[in-house]
Amino acid sequence: MLGPSQPVVLHLLDIPPAEKALAGVRMELIDAAFPLLAGIVTSVDAAEASKGVDYAIMVGGFPRKAGMERKDVMSKNVAIYQSQAAALEAHASKDVKILVVANPANTNALILSQNAPSIPKKNITCLTRLDHNRAQGQISEKISKVKDDGTSIFAVSSKDVRNVIIWGNHSSTQVPDATHATVTVDGKAMPAKEAVNDDAWLEKEFVETVQQRGAAVIAARGASSALSAASAAVDHMRDWALGTEDKDAFVSMGVFSDGSSGYKEAPEGVVFSFPVKCSGDGEWEVVKGLSMSEETSRKVAASGAELVEERELALECLKG
């Protein structure tokens, strides 16, 4: 995640009922003999786990269960992220970089930001790289070739698909956008639209598949995305810490919207997924001036409106 030669000390936090299992995880990490693992701290105390951390990946949250209203779920997560914010504010490195994975990721990140005022807002992000990677994967799979024996192989890898965008909320209102994407086929870069050669698919099935992929994974395996989410978290942190691989490429990150992006569809004061470039020194900047179709603009604005609704619900829960 932080490069091929960067030793790390892992600080692992879990809730008290999982303390015994956490000890088992520690045993396995030691037994795996990872060459870059320089130490392990395990704790059920957020303050202890937060001491001196430079990077924090927040995967803990309260999932929505049958019969629960949105406000019930939000109340649970507000309490969790108030507590996490207090611990990070008091004990983490002053330049800590935070990635929120647990859903509702955008609003959980906002809650954390509002309750940790000394941590710069630019240092608190949420995971939409999973959706970005899903979009790359869908385009790669679409351009697959069928061999004579009937098996399908990818004609291009996901790495050959660049500059897809995820706009807005990490929810079903997110807007996957391939307008500015390119695909490198046989060494030649071309617009994704040309490589896919199926406008109807790009406009409908591609968008809906990426939006609903999380639910599809749950339906297929009986549990939410784990491998793909972990891989996306690694991608997000690596690019943030070390820089995006290509100066012409951008990735999707949920970052604080301060009104300076130039995209009227993005409300101010929420954590919103934009196309960003990372410079390699822990900094990111929104890629500005990209065009949107009228339909895309409408959908992005709707996702922004949902984030405002979530923010207001979270603030109501905070007051409560």
Which residue, 167, 177, 187, 188, is CA-closest to 139? 177
Instruction: Give the DSSP H or E segment for 299.
Output: helix 294-319
Residue in 11, 132, 170, 236 annotated catalytic: 170
**Contact call for residues 37 and 1 (beta carbons, < 8 A):** no
Q: Measure the CA–CA gap between 227 and 230, rounded to whole angstroms.
A: 5
Is 170 a residue of the active site?
yes
**Contact call for residues 114 and 89 (beta carbons, < 8 A):** no
Beta pairing class for 8-13 and 37-43: parallel
3-state secondary structure of 261: coil
3-state secondary structure of 252: strand
CA distances from 11 to 22, 39, 44, 105, 237 (A): 11, 9, 11, 21, 16
Token duo for residue 319: 């007051």
Burial 259-297 (b: 16+ CB within 10 A, else e): eebebebbbeebbbbbbbbbeeebebebbeebebeeebb
Q: Which residues pair with 129 in a beta bridge?
A: none
| Residues belonging to the active site | 170
